[in-house]
Structure 1
Amino acid sequence: MNAEFIEALGQLEKEKGISKDILIEAIEAALISGYKRNFHSAQNVRVDINRHSGEVRVFARKTVVEDVLDTRLEISLPAAREFDPNYQLGDIVEIEVTPADFGRIAAQTAKQVVTQRIREAERTAIFKDFIDREEDIITGIVQRADNRYYYVDLGRVEALLPHTEVIPGERFKHGDRVKTYITKVEKSTKGPQIFLSRTHPGLLKRLFELEVPEIYEGVVEIRAIAREAGQRSKVAVSSRNEDVDPVGACVGHRGQRVQTVVNELKGEKIDIVRWSEDIGEWIANALSPSKVVTVTIYEEEKMARVIVPDHQLSLAIGKEGQNARLAAKLTNWKIDIKSESEAQEAGEPVVKEPALSDQEAEHAEPAHEADETL
């Protein structure tokens, strides 16, 4: 090695942020192993790299003892005092043992160490960058696929999109651009592993944040999401400003905002409902687009009995129970749905009260109509 190599380490420090001193210390440690391996030495040695000239020197370290049992590790007091008369028993004597052709080994080792440290530094930088982007949305390009994953190029790293995290019916080919949600970032021996999803509820949340300025600005808040990817989702929203209608803000003019999200999710139907502090009202809203007659709350069981008009029963339950299932997931309450006639036959009182306010009813039906056309 020479002075130019030391200068190169200094330049590397500026460009990659890897400390020159740490690199040199790592090279010295690697050279100790290299020396012992190449010269079959069991000596205790120290390698020193001059920080200015790049000169490499190897020193055997021997302990000053009264009786020498192992000449590779020990030296007698008289022999030590030939180097320096001030040596005492127990001191360490360093004797230079640099081999004639050690420079070639040093250069090869230094290159390997520097390459490895650069790779480690880049992996660490990528990990730090993406660990901060967990639970965020990102766009990448599909590179290839196997029976478990799609491999998605994110620019600095290739991420994994499991087939189980793809919307049912979706198929990607090489070169397709895909918008995904980062679910997990892990360290591995080969660098950071980044896992993506197209089915996670977080993707739906992030898409609305991109499309609805009121959400991004914090005026409208997404309170809960229930999603069955590729089929239907329910999004509960509230507003911090009485003058801003949260449902209308998310739907957009003529449904343009929600339509953009629907298109990104390959036609997934989306119900946007108003969140409420009143549990009964909240559950009634969650069953939108169905109309609700009454909601009876059972706090201890965290269960609600909902009565709907006879002609709304199938709508409230949904195809294969989907609407009721999503409403229960959205509110985190068990929901038992009955029609008015079923409730009367069971002897349960049916008090007809509007479950939705006029403003909520105004938005609930158009949202349903929009769903039917998507």
Structure 2
Amino acid sequence: MSNQLFEAIDYLAKEKGIDKDILLEALEAALISAYKKNFKSATNVRVELNEETGKMGVFSRKTIVEEVEDNQEEISLEEAKKIDPNYTLEDVVEVEVTPKDFGRIAAQAAKQVVTQRVREAERGVIFSEYADREEDVMTGIIQRKDPRFVYVNLGKIEAKLAEAEQMPTEEYYVHDRLKVFVTKVENTSKGPQIYISRSHPGLLKRLFEMEVPEIYEGIVEIKSVAREAGDRSKISVHAPDPEIDPVGSCVGQKGQRVQAIVNELKGEKIDVVEWSEDPVVYVSNALSPSKVVDVIVDEEEKATTVIVPDYQLSLAIGKRGQNARLAAKLTGWKIDIKSESEAREEGLLDEQPESLPDTEEDLF
């Protein structure tokens, strides 16, 4: 039985990629526990596993004392010298106490240990594989759904798409393929847990990196993303090389690149705007598709007052304030929008100003 046990451990170590020493250490601990449980022993014991001979034994460790008070923990000097004349007081003597049916106990313990360690090893492999995909996009297949979660098969593991991470305008059907953003990977007592999202701004950013070679290669940089999933998003981009058109690179010929992302996000509108270190230009760009007459900047408060033509006021603010809200998130500046007539009444415009140049943007 012992030889078969060692052969099984050797096979599993190679097959599952588990360190054999770890398996043997775990088996030793399990055998000690099994011995104490089966033989109601509280004594200090050690298990010896000999791979060469294929044998295993249990040894009770006893301290040599003058007067024995606990037979399980102590041994007299006289008895110890019968084992080895060189023993002295306070030495520790090991006495073999291997039960006759210990092979059966060992087999049961080995099965439990190996099963547990294999499960842990497989979980470790899965965790290592998916931990590298945190903040990345993965493609999975919808397996099932309930009122709280959509369950997505990502290959070796099933991830949960929580209701809060779903796009409110999107329907999820079993067997559909779905791109998801991995927000977090955790190694829990129940195994690896993967948290995914369809509404996270990171999904939009990664989709642009996948669709636009210039972003992947670092020629064009994504500076900021503001998203209201399923409805509308804004993304600001910048090219260090002045000869590169960052907005045009993201939009693509006839809008093909950005349209591919819009299709993936089931019709979510996307404004691609050019980033600028000048807040006047940046805020003007961010408020696209509306035109801007003037931007008054308050550096201390990091706030701006934006003046737009009267007929563009509702466009600049957007439905339920969405355009202005997204522009503020994108730029990091507070934005207060006023019409030209309102600005004149407040003395913000003295003369008839010329509108700022049209922003470089595309709306899909």
- TM-score, normalised by the number of residues in structure 2: 0.96
- Change in Cα spacing, 1:16 to 1:355, as seen in structure 2 (3 Å) is farther
Secondary structure of the structure 1 residue equivalent to 2:31? helix
d(CA) in 1 for partners of 2:318, 2:72? 84
d(CA) in 2 for partners of 1:333, 1:253? 32
Amino acid at match of 1:253: Q
Counterpart of 1:169 in structure 2 is: 169
Amino acid at match of 1:355: L
Describe how 1:240-251 pairs up with structure 2 within 5 A: 240-251=240-251
Shift of 1:194: 0.6
Amino acid at match of 2:343: A
Residues 343, 350 of structure 1: 8 Å contact kept = no
Describe how 1:150-189 pairs up with structure 2 within 5 A: 150-189=150-189
Secondary structure of the structure 1 residue equivalent to 2:306? strand
d(CA) in 1 for partners of 2:256, 2:305? 35
d(CA) in 1 for partners of 2:118, 2:22? 12
Q: Tell me how large the CA RMSD over aligned residues is.
A: 1.4
d(CA) in 2 for partners of 1:207, 1:307? 34
Matched, 1:216 2:216: yes
Matched, 1:201 2:201: yes
Describe how 1:257-272 pairs up with structure 2 within 5 A: 257-272=257-272
Shift of 1:339: 1.0
- Change in Cα spacing, 1:323 to 1:350, as seen in structure 2 (3 Å) is farther
Residues 57, 98 of structure 1: 8 Å contact kept = yes
Matched, 1:72 2:44: no
Describe how 1:113-128 pairs up with structure 2 within 5 A: 113-128=113-128
Q: What are the ranges of 5 or more consecutive residues in structure 2 without an aligned counterpart?
A: none
Residues 59, 96 of structure 1: 8 Å contact kept = yes
Secondary structure of the structure 1 residue equivalent to 2:188? coil
Shift of 1:112: 1.1
Counterpart of 2:304 in structure 1 is: 304
Counterpart of 2:92 in structure 1 is: 92
Residues 340, 349 of structure 2: 8 Å contact kept = no
Secondary structure of the structure 2 residue equivalent to 1:82? helix
Counterpart of 2:26 in structure 1 is: 26
Matched, 1:146 2:146: yes
d(CA) in 1 for partners of 2:211, 2:259? 10
d(CA) in 2 for partners of 1:300, 1:192? 46
Secondary structure of the structure 1 residue equivalent to 2:30? helix
Shift of 1:136: 0.5
Shift of 1:156: 1.1
Secondary structure of the structure 2 residue equivalent to 1:187? strand
Q: Which stretch has the larger CA shift, 176-185 or 265-274?
A: 176-185
Counterpart of 2:333 in structure 1 is: 333
Counterpart of 1:52 in structure 2 is: 52
Residues 212, 250 of structure 1: 8 Å contact kept = yes
Amino acid at match of 2:181: Y
Shift of 1:354: 4.6
Residues 61, 73 of structure 1: 8 Å contact kept = yes
d(CA) in 1 for partners of 2:189, 2:91? 42
Counterpart of 1:287 in structure 2 is: 287
Shift of 1:189: 1.1
Residues 251, 257 of structure 2: 8 Å contact kept = yes
d(CA) in 2 for partners of 1:234, 1:28? 60
d(CA) in 2 for partners of 1:324, 1:204? 20
Secondary structure of the structure 1 residue equivalent to 2:183? strand
d(CA) in 1 for partners of 2:144, 2:283? 44
Residues 5, 107 of structure 2: 8 Å contact kept = no
- TM-score, normalised by the number of residues in structure 1: 0.94
Amino acid at match of 1:141: I
Counterpart of 1:8 in structure 2 is: 8
Shift of 1:19: 1.3
Shift of 1:118: 1.2
d(CA) in 2 for partners of 1:170, 1:194? 21
Percent identity reads: 63
Residues 208, 261 of structure 1: 8 Å contact kept = yes
Amino acid at match of 1:76: S
Shift of 1:350: 5.2
Deviations 1:221-261 (A, max 9, x none): 10000000010000000012222210001101111111110
